[in-house]
Structure 1
Amino acid sequence: MSYPFTSLSSKSGHLPGSTIHVGEKRAHKTSIDIVHYDGQELIGITDPTTDQLLDCQKKAGVSWIRVSGLHETNIIAEIGRLFHLHPLTVEDILNTNHRPKAEEFEDHLFITFRALKMMDNNLKQDQMSLVLGRGWVLSFEEQDHSRYATIIQHLEQHKGKARGRKSDYLFYRLIDVVVDDYFKLSEYFEVTNESLEDKVIRPDEKDYLPTIQRSKRQIFQCRKALMALREALVVVRRGNDALIHPSTLIYIEDVYEHTHHVIDDIEVQRDILASALDIYLSGQSNKMNQIMQVLTIISTIFIPLTFICGLYGMNFQFMPELTWRYGYFGVLLLMGIMAGIMLWLFRKKGWL
């Protein structure tokens, strides 16, 4: 299924902070859900009213407002107005091609980044945006793909620390899930690259260049997204005592270290893929050299034979061999002996 796509050029001429969706329309409609919880209860609300959204900023406990689908810009703009988001922040949320970054405001913290996942050997990318406020977290996703199903399940079953912590811990967990997906990507690249290395050294006739180029492009996209996410986490690590408790900074620091770890793994896989490409190209070059060697040997054998044929093909009147009864058979024998001697010499030198 193809989706309408809005390019970045469509924003040309508009004022900064304009609410224009950039990217693919990946959801049929924009949906909003609220998950409100504290140590005693958890409440889920689908398609909340404006009053219910405003209550999220006043209630005790933690309110997680999930927004799936970014193409209905009026809804995103309204949420930005209700939660006092800067117009440039709303603009960044709607730009699904935006480079990962983080910004700190007086009463909220904003981060946007790429969520990557491998599906059917294709790298799927989704833009994720999170806004951390006092007692609430906004999450904006291009589509509802149940990435955070495990977190919701843990909240419902009262597992882990989230139900007893504030919104900053939920903010950390939402980022951590995406970073964990990068670990899965790194493991996928490790397995596929090892398999690819084994294949390219085999003497078969398959063309592995498209596969290598596709993996190379996927690793590049993954590395690019990770490097930018790591830079964004530097802003989050600086901390805002009003929004992020020092006890949660330890977990954010751990996520930051995880990005370093994954980047190192991705760099290793990039080197392995480059090595596989070199091996493949060397193998192709060796095959071409072998073909050229065979053709050269054949040409070398036929050069003197062609000379003899050309010599006796000249139309001179006085050529003694032409009147000799066994001339034809003698020339054939001479040509056979010459070809045999050359084949013996080539074999002796190891060229055959």
Structure 2
Amino acid sequence: MGQIDDMTFTPGRITHWLLEDYEKAVAKNAESAAAEWPPPQGARPTMTEKPPEPAGAPPASRPRRRRRLTVRRARPGAPPGTLVVHAEAQATRVRVLAYGADAILEDSLPPDADFAALRGRAPVTWIQVAGLADIALIERLGAQFGIHRLVLEDVVNVHQRPKVDTFVDQVFIAFRAVAAQGGEETEQISLIVGDGYVISFHETHEDCLEPLRDRIREGKGRVRQLGADYLSYAVIDTVIDAYFPVLEAMGETIDALEDAVIARPAPAQVHDIHDLKRRLMHLRRAIWPMRDMANALIRDDVPGMSRDTRLYLRDCYDHLVQLMDIVETDRETVSALLEVYLSSLSARMNEIMKVLTIIATIFIPLGFFAGLWGMNFDGEASPFNMPELGWRYGYPAALAFMAVIAGGLLYYFRRKGWIGGLGRPPRR
């Protein structure tokens, strides 16, 4: 693949390209350019500033609240291909990243851009649509690239099961990626892969694909030398790799909770256990169908997927199997944590009951003698009626007798190992 056709770029300047005024922008940049494309070694194009936040749009730094798995579709009876805007959809932004082996251009596009003019200008063109609030823009983009209405419906209905749909000259891929702010929350990413272009639709303005964009800008790896099918693989691979840190952090949380449950069980830990089970179920629901998606892409009948790309997709499939093994292991561990909690709680209760039983056992003989001496039979009526009541040291003698009984019982319990943990080892 050669250089990008008919493109000039001045490092440090905003280059508006592939729009209706493309010819005018090229001429203006050519007059002021002091260097020719490609730029010198070490130079990299600067991205345009992000457009101002539209009114009512949440700031990018504001964390997303956890959303329940609510499938929002068109009302019953609506025609197929009806696009419905979600109330939580973010404002739509479009940026494009076009590149070849020797050149790269990156820019933001206005909503009224001529997207059809992007085709064929570069060996690979990556159109990124972040935010799905502008249905009119999505419909116009779909019309200019010949995207089926049912595919657009799956794009805006962001709770799709990961899947692959093949068409004559396009492949539609939908899957879930971890959110950019971390955690186990996921968002849907949809890819339209065609001849020389990839169109990606993202729920939010930030995603986990920035490392891939940096690789393209810096020319690392093979992505700049290969086609759009390899770019789609690179997107999927980056998304899959982003799951590993999430599961590693969750595994550390599970280990810490397991130690706490064994050391000192507390009622609040039950809520933590159920929360971990819910989070793991959420991740499993996102990862499990991606195995079928990767397996479908490996097949020979997927248009546009070269043999080399299918080999890389096999590696994605292996990583997904590894992720599922981790998720299943963590789920079994968390499920066992509840049993460990109940066992630890039962053991602690048994320990308390043992102490109370020992105390009660010690006081049984003491209570017997106290009750015996408390009958107060008249000693003058008969010499057999408690003669010790008349002893001068009868009361201290009774207390000493009770103390000897209590001490003897404590010594016996200790020798048996029932208290103090100093019992004799069992005989072999």
Same fold by TM (over 0.5)?
yes
Q: Select between 203-212 and 280-289 the one with higher mean Cα deviation.
A: 203-212
Q: Select between 251-260 and 38-47 the one with higher mean Cα deviation.
A: 38-47
Contact preservation (8 Å) 2:175, 2:189: yes
SS in 2 for 1:130: strand
Aligned amino acid, residue 140 of structure 1: F
- Alpha carbons of 1:117 and 1:70: their partners in 2 closer, same or farther (altered >3 Å)? closer
- Alpha carbons of 1:4 and 1:297: their partners in 2 closer, same or farther (altered >3 Å)? closer
Q: Is 2:202 the counterpart of 1:141?
A: yes
2:100 is matched with which residue?
38
1:343 is matched with which residue?
410
Q: Select between 77-86 and 60-69 the one with higher mean Cα deviation.
A: 77-86
Q: Is 2:150 the counterpart of 1:61?
A: no
SS in 1 for 2:185: strand
Aligned mates of 2:156, 2:369 — CA distance in 1: 80
Alignment of 1:71-150 (within 5 A): 71-116=133-178, 122-150=183-211
Q: C-alpha displacement at 1:176, in angstroms?
A: 0.6
2:389 is matched with which residue?
324
Aligned amino acid, residue 323 of structure 2: V
2:84 is matched with which residue?
20
Cα-to-partner distance string for 1:316-347 (whole Å, 9 max, x where unaligned): 88993499334655654554344333323322
Q: Among 329, 335, 339, which residue is 1:268 paired with?
A: 329
Aligned amino acid, residue 8 of structure 1: V
TM-score by length of 2: 0.70
SS in 1 for 2:224: helix
Aligned mates of 2:361, 2:197 — CA distance in 1: 82
Aligned amino acid, residue 134 of structure 2: E
Contact preservation (8 Å) 2:94, 2:128: yes
- Alpha carbons of 1:58 and 1:43: their partners in 2 closer, same or farther (altered >3 Å)? same
Q: Among 71, 76, 82, which residue is 1:8 paired with?
A: 71
1:172 is matched with which residue?
233
Q: C-alpha displacement at 1:45, in angstroms?
A: 3.1
- Alpha carbons of 1:302 and 1:75: their partners in 2 closer, same or farther (altered >3 Å)? farther
Contact preservation (8 Å) 2:180, 2:207: no
Q: C-alpha displacement at 1:267, in angstroms?
A: 2.8
Q: Is 2:355 the counterpart of 1:286?
A: no
Q: C-alpha displacement at 1:259, in angstroms?
A: 0.9
Aligned mates of 1:9, 1:225 — CA distance in 2: 18
Contact preservation (8 Å) 2:265, 2:345: no
Contact preservation (8 Å) 1:102, 1:110: yes
Cα-to-partner distance string for 1:28-83 (whole Å, 9 max, x where unaligned): x2101111222343222312455531123444522111011123333333323332
SS in 2 for 1:107: coil
Q: C-alpha displacement at 1:189, in angstroms?
A: 3.6
Aligned mates of 1:294, 1:52 — CA distance in 2: 81
Q: Select between 82-91 and 306-315 the one with higher mean Cα deviation.
A: 306-315
Contact preservation (8 Å) 2:66, 2:185: no
1:216 is matched with which residue?
277
Aligned mates of 1:240, 1:41 — CA distance in 2: 32
Aligned mates of 2:85, 2:377 — CA distance in 1: 87
Give unpaired runs (5+ residues) of structure 1: none
- Alpha carbons of 1:324 and 1:147: their partners in 2 closer, same or farther (altered >3 Å)? closer
Q: Which structure: greater helix fraction?
A: 1
Q: Select between 308-317 and 172-181 the one with higher mean Cα deviation.
A: 308-317
Q: C-alpha displacement at 1:194, in angstroms?
A: 4.2
Percent same amino acid at aligned positions? 33
- Alpha carbons of 1:339 and 1:119: their partners in 2 closer, same or farther (altered >3 Å)? farther
Aligned mates of 2:65, 2:332 — CA distance in 1: 35
- Alpha carbons of 1:140 and 1:101: their partners in 2 closer, same or farther (altered >3 Å)? same
Q: Select between 274-283 and 70-79 the one with higher mean Cα deviation.
A: 274-283
Aligned amino acid, residue 349 of structure 1: K
Contact preservation (8 Å) 1:22, 1:96: no
Alignment of 1:163-202 (within 5 A): 163-202=224-263
Aligned mates of 2:131, 2:374 — CA distance in 1: 83
Aligned amino acid, residue 235 of structure 1: A
Contact preservation (8 Å) 2:178, 2:208: no
- Alpha carbons of 1:89 and 1:315: their partners in 2 closer, same or farther (altered >3 Å)? farther
Contact preservation (8 Å) 2:154, 2:160: yes
